[in-house]
A and B are shown apart, each in its own frame.
Chain A
Amino acid sequence: MPVIEVKNLTKVYKMGEHEVRALRGVSLSIEEGEFVAVTGPSGSGKSTFMHIAGCLDRPTSGTYVLAGRDVSKLSKDDLARVRNNNIGFVFQGFNLLTRTTALDNVELPMLYRSKNKFKTPDRHKRAMNALSAVNLGDRHHHMPNQLSGGQQQRVAIARALVNEPSMILADEPTGNLDTRTSIEVMGIFQRLNKERGITVLLITHELDIAEYGTRLIRFRDGRVVSDAAVAHRRNAVDELAALPPPEPDTPPPPPAEAEAAAHA
């Protein structure tokens, strides 16, 4: 059963007197365990598609079946429940709660569960497990301002995992990270996808980030213009191994050198 099945999806916004047709009939399906990258220029509709795929918005017409359930016409409250149960979000800006420990941040989605709620000790255990999965078990008591950008994003990924969603929806997850950290984070996505079979839907405008996935969908002018397997898939683990070790006290190398090292 596909995780996402979308048929003839359209989305029309009214901006004053103009109508904006953000999506003009999108049909596709994504199976469990896929690592799909969605890319396209600004205004291509990829963000609109992501909002609908993430149940943050409803389509104007067409159907969207998520994990076997038609979510195209659900109420706001029902959509919230679907998001809580089925979708794990990772954002470009991390969006962690400030002055809150990593553990409490990761627990947050569990507090909004409407059924099968966990008691406090179970919540703690599940949150610690999620943090261990991203190798941050020893920093569970740190606040975001005590963590690096990469570590904060890893906490966000742990938070996305904690309710065991049908898929992880990552919106430009490496946008605020440096090259090395970006590769580390993409490595986490690849590991979770491979070892746990978690479906990943990645939105990005950077082609090199998109190439960590298995399938690439390109949007243009509200339509899917290409949908194919990634030709030369990048492997984060290999790339990290090939990088020189990080030297925090020296200024970062000029961009040309870093790219040459990454493609070695």
Chain B
Amino acid sequence: MSLYMTLRIAFKALGRNKLRTALTMLGMIIGVAAVIAMVALGSGAQEQIEEQVKSQGTNMITILPGSMNTGGVRTGQGGNVKLIPEDAIALREIPEIEYVSEMVTTRAQVIYGNQNWNTSIQGTNVDMPTIRSWTPKYGNYFTEEDVKASAKVIILGSNVSDTLFGEGIDPTDQQLRVKNQIFRVLGVMSSKGSNGGGQNQDDQAFAPFTTVMQKLSGQIFLNSIIASTRSADDVRKAADAISATLRIRHNVAPGDPDDVIVQTLEDIIALRTQTTSTMSALLAGVALVSLIVGGIGIMNIMLVSVTERTREIGLRMAIGARGSDVLLQFLIEAVVISAVGGAIGIALGYGGSKLITYFESWPTLVPPDAVVLATVVSAFVGIFFGFYPARKAASLDPIEALRFE
């Protein structure tokens, strides 16, 4: 019998007892909806993190002193390893690298009139805004002359500016005191929000790194170096070149681990999403178990159905159905239940994730491959769990079956 006819016969058979068919589907519906919703939550969180991390500048590479142990935890940051300005100069020689900025960090009290604010001061070079794709909304960033002269100039983050000068006010050319020294405000950076690691990027201020090193913190070593490449394809190559250059400069013996951490955006995203993906995997595993339970439910109901319809099977065989016809019919009935249940589950999971976003403002994203996978798995559940009952039906003896009460 053609597949189309078998499909029609299967649908008719399922339609004869709509309530039972619907209840049997329930296991699949709930299981698939749960998987889709969990995956949506995980993907949404992952994408949000990626976007936050990327907002720090694409093609960016961060170099930190210290080394990574397994698991991505930095050990001994600082320690005996130091980054010096000459390291940054050496990195500018690497052909794939377009921009480099030295980075130092200190904390200081910033005072304007009777407003003061304890904030982090980032010492950078002139290319920091380009590397981080981050430009001032008021005024300008400092220049190479300012760096050469260790000028006492400062650019404020938008939170710092709002606190000291008030919201919406352009403080360019105002003067304020940083650690008892007078600094001139050159501008205010645009708002960026969180950096995906829990730090508010608008709550800091920027000055030439030479100024911070010589006049504010007195340090001679850099906290980190940031660099960017011409194109995204060069990032991996550039990162490797940076490691090689610094190993030579720091006299690291071959075979010893790197003494600096070279972190690309991919690395940062991977770190941050590690916990989310572990959680997602666990949750998806639990949801998968519920899919198996749904499949077992289908198998049980199909077994009951086969027993109940023993005389019907005997009749079909008597009028000419072969074993393979009966097997195919019941297998397709099981697959229809699981596939339709899966489809409804996907729709429900999608709708549910949208509701979660609406009510809880948690980001959700249903990836297309999850939908395809859910559909395939649903059909497979039907085939796998429907096979045993279908085989039982097909191996009935028509004479015995017709006699069955």
Tell whether A pairs with B.
Answer: yes
Q: Is the CB of B16 within 8 A of A112?
A: no
| Among candidates A77, A89, A100, residue contacting B322 with C-beta atoms closer than 8 Å | A77
Chain A residues, CB < 8 A from B398? 56
Contact between A56 and B323, CB atoms less than 8 A apart: no
- Check A80–B321 contact: CB distance below 8 A: yes
Shortest C-beta distance, B188 to chain A (Å), equals 76
Interface string of B292-325 (1 = CB under 8 A from A): 0000000000000000000110111111111111
Query: Which chain A residues numbered 41 to 58 have a C-beta less than 8 Å away from chain B?
Result: 51, 54, 56-57
Segment touching B, from A91-99, A189-197, A240-248: A91-99
8 A-B residue pairings within 8 Å (CB atoms): A56-B399, A76-B322, A83-B320, A93-B311, A95-B311, A104-B12, A111-B5, A111-B9
Residues on B close to A: CB < 8 A? 1, 5, 9, 12, 16, 311-312, 314-325, 398-399, 402
Whether the pair B16, A83 counts as a contact (CB closer than 8 A) is no
Q: What's the Cα separation between A85 and B311 when bound, in Å?
A: 21
* Contacting pair B319 A109 (CB below 8 A): yes
Contact with A76, one of B316, B319, B323 (Cβ below 8 angstroms): B323
The reply to whether B320 and A84 form a contact with Cβ atoms under 8 Å apart is yes
Smallest CB separation, A30 vs chain B (Å): 20
A81 within 8 Å of B (CB atoms): yes
**Chain A residues whose C-beta falls within 8 Å of the C-beta of B320 in the assembled complex:** 80-81, 83-85, 109, 112-113
* Chain B residue contacts of A57, Cβ below 8 A: 399
Minimal Cβ-Cβ distance residue in B for A169 = B318
Q: Find the B residue at minimum CB distance from A88.
A: B319
Instruction: Report which A residues bind B (CB closer than 8 A).
Output: 51, 54, 56-57, 76-77, 80-81, 83-85, 89, 91, 93, 95, 97-100, 104, 108-109, 111-113, 159
For A80, list chain B residues within 8 Å (CB).
Answer: 317, 320-322
A84 touches which of B312, B315, B319 (Cβ 8 Å): B319
- Which residue of chain A lies nearest to B16 when distances are taken between CB atoms in the complex? A99
Closest B residue by C-beta to A54:
B318
Structural contact, B319 and A108, CB atoms closer than 8 A: yes
Interface-centre pick from A111, A113, A159 (highest chain B CB count, 10 A): A111
In the bound complex, CA of A95 to CA of B316 (Å): 10
A112 B399 Cβ-Cβ under 8 A: no
Q: A91 contacts which chain B residues (CB < 8 A)?
A: 315, 402
CA distance A104 to B8 in the complex (A): 12
Q: Give Cα distance in the complex from A112 to B5, angstroms.
A: 9
What distance in Å separates the Cβ of B22 from its nearest Cβ neighbour in chain A?
Answer: 16
B323 with A77: CB separation less than 8 A: yes
Question: In the complex the two chains form, what is the Cα distance from A81 to B317 in whole Å?
Answer: 10
A-B pairs, 10 with minimum CB distance = A84-B320, A112-B320, A99-B16, A95-B315, A109-B319, A80-B322, A77-B322, A89-B318, A83-B320, A112-B321
Shortest CB-to-CB span from B15 to chain A, Å, is 8
Alpha-carbon distance A100/B314, docked complex (angstroms)? 17
Which residue of chain A has the shortest Cβ distance to B312 in the bound complex?
Answer: A97
Smallest Cβ-Cβ distance to B5: which chain A residue: A111
Q: Shortest beta-carbon distance, A201 to chain B, in Å? A: 14
B residues within 8 A CB of A98?
16
Contact A159 B399 (CB under 8 A): no
Q: Which residues of B contact A108 (CB under 8 A)?
A: 316, 319
Contacts of A51 in B (CB 8 A): 399
Task: Give Cα A24 to B204, complex, Å.
Answer: 105
Distance between Cα atoms of A91 and B12 in the complex (Å): 23
| Complex CA–CA separation, A53 to B195 (angstroms) | 84
Which of B311, B318, B325: most chain A Cβ within 10 A? B318
A97-B312, A98-B16 are known contacts. Are A112 and B319 too (CB-CB below 8 A)?
yes
Q: Which of B1, B311, B312, B323 contacts A112 (CB 8 A)?
A: B1
- Asked if B12 and A112 sit within 8 Å, CB to CB, the answer is no
Distance from B155 Cβ to chain A, minimum over Cβ atoms (Å): 79
Chain B residues in 8 Å Cβ range of A76: 322-323
B327: min CB distance to chain A, Å: 12
List 14 additional contacts besides A89-B318, A95-B315, A111-B9; criterion CB under 8 Å.
Answer: A54-B318, A56-B398, A57-B399, A77-B324, A83-B319, A95-B311, A97-B312, A97-B315, A100-B16, A104-B12, A109-B320, A111-B5, A113-B320, A159-B319
